Amino acid sequence: MSYEGQMLAQLDMPSRKEVEQALLKILFKHNGVIKEFSSGEEIVEEIANEFGLNENQRIAVLERTYRKENRIVKSLLWHRLLYRAADSLAKEKLVSRPSSTLHLTNKKEWMLTESGFDKALDFLNIPKTQKEFLPIKSFEVQKIIKKLIETPRPSNYNPFDKEKKVVRITRESALRKRGFRQAIIEAYSYKCAFCGMKIHSPDYLWWEVEAAHIVPHSFKGKDDIWNGLALCRLHHWAFDVGWFTIQDDFYITVSPQINSLPHDFGKMGDYDFIRILSGKKTKINLPNNKEIFPHQNSIRWHRENKFCH
């Protein structure tokens, strides 16, 4: 047995397989990404806590002598075990290495791949059909997000897909759908563009906000960042049925039909979700980057075809 193997056995450290499983679960809990171990010591502690490691197990140091240079390299045994487990997950293509993630996000992080995401869902008994509603990052979806937010903004944008073939749920279209959803809700900081509502489930897994299409799918609207808005469920519904629209300068317009609406409609206690936005100039909450603001061509279509004048 190697010197490292002996130390692992003596200290009764968890097996590499166990650490691999724990890593997948921790990645899931952290939205699919964790910092490279050397720069994020808190994650090293967090996983150690999962295993309930004692002080000796946490601080055991492995010494290796590099004879050629005649120097001794010391590293934490636990840290090395974590790295080896992550490395083995990367070999199985369940996570991407910090060096590859760096090209995608400019951060040195371990990120789940689609297969790693599926495996974590299995461990946690969450059906795969829930994937599209979870804010978990995967390497493949992150590639789509990068493309969505980095493609130069066209001045004359066409928000419609060409003739749509029979809709088939392929792996590719499912990934694109998740890429669109995540790109939108991240761009709007998980907040409704109309009311600013921001809330997640008590276990942090699910966000209330939805990625709405300005030109809807049923009208061949594209899954582009310029054709989307983050909206709470209530405003998503109200926007789709035409109670609200937005102007080219992003100010909200409320349908004049509210004048014929019974006065007790649209109220939650004292909060009147429609009338509160009529009569005063309110702009929607926008992303930080102008390049990904909704496109005027999408907005115009909504004003002319969905809004109730």
CB 284 within 8 A of CB 212: no
Q: Which one, 175 or 192, has the nearer CB to Zn ion?
A: 192
Shortest CB 194 distance to Zn ion, Å:
4
Q: Is 212 in the site for Zn ion (CB under 5 A)?
A: no
* Segment near Zn ion (CB under 5 A); pick from 87-95, 109-117, 192-200, 281-289: 192-200
CB 287 within 8 A of CB 187: yes
Which neighbouring-strand residues pair with 112?
Answer: 95
Helix (H) or strand (E) holding 62: strand 61-66
* Segment near Zn ion (CB under 5 A); pick from 104-112, 188-196, 275-283, 293-301: 188-196
Shortest CB 235 distance to Zn ion, Å:
4
Q: Which one, 26 or 276, has the nearer CB to Zn ion?
A: 276
* Residue of the chain from 89, 148, 195, 238 that contacts Zn ion (CB under 5 A): 195
Gap between the terminal Cα atoms of the chain? 79
Q: Is 274 in the site for Zn ion (CB under 5 A)?
A: no
Shortest CB 280 distance to Zn ion, Å:
16
CA R_g for the chain: 25
Q: Which one, 186 or 208, has the nearer CB to Zn ion?
A: 208
- HSE (side-chain half, CA atoms, 13 Å) at 286: 17
d(CA 248, CA 295): 8
Q: Is 235 in the site for Zn ion (CB under 5 A)?
A: yes
Shortest CB 142 distance to Zn ion, Å:
27
* Segment near Zn ion (CB under 5 A); pick from 161-169, 195-203, 260-268, 291-299: 195-203
Q: Is 192 in the site for Zn ion (CB under 5 A)?
A: yes
CA–CA distances in Å: residue 213 to residues 48, 210, 225, 228, 229: 43, 10, 9, 5, 7
> Cα angle at 36 between 113 and 15, to 5 degrees?
75
Q: Which one, 167 or 268, has the nearer CB to Zn ion?
A: 268
Q: Where do we find the tokens 């193997």?
A: 5
* Segment near Zn ion (CB under 5 A); pick from 6-14, 146-154, 160-168, 191-199: 191-199
* Segment near Zn ion (CB under 5 A); pick from 166-174, 185-193, 242-250, 262-270: 185-193
Backbone angles phi, psi at 267, to 5 degrees: -110, 140
CA–CA distances in Å: residue 86 to residues 3, 22, 34, 50, 307: 21, 10, 11, 16, 51
Shortest CB 300 distance to Zn ion, Å:
22
Shortest CA distance to 121 belongs to which of 56, 29, 237, 241? 29
Q: Is 7 in the site for Zn ion (CB under 5 A)?
A: no
* Residue of the chain from 197, 205, 276, 286 that contacts Zn ion (CB under 5 A): 197
Number of residues in contact with Zn ion, rule: CB under 5 A?
A: 6
* Segment near Zn ion (CB under 5 A); pick from 94-102, 109-117, 118-126, 186-194: 186-194
Binding site for Zn ion (CB under 5 A): 192, 194-195, 197, 232, 235
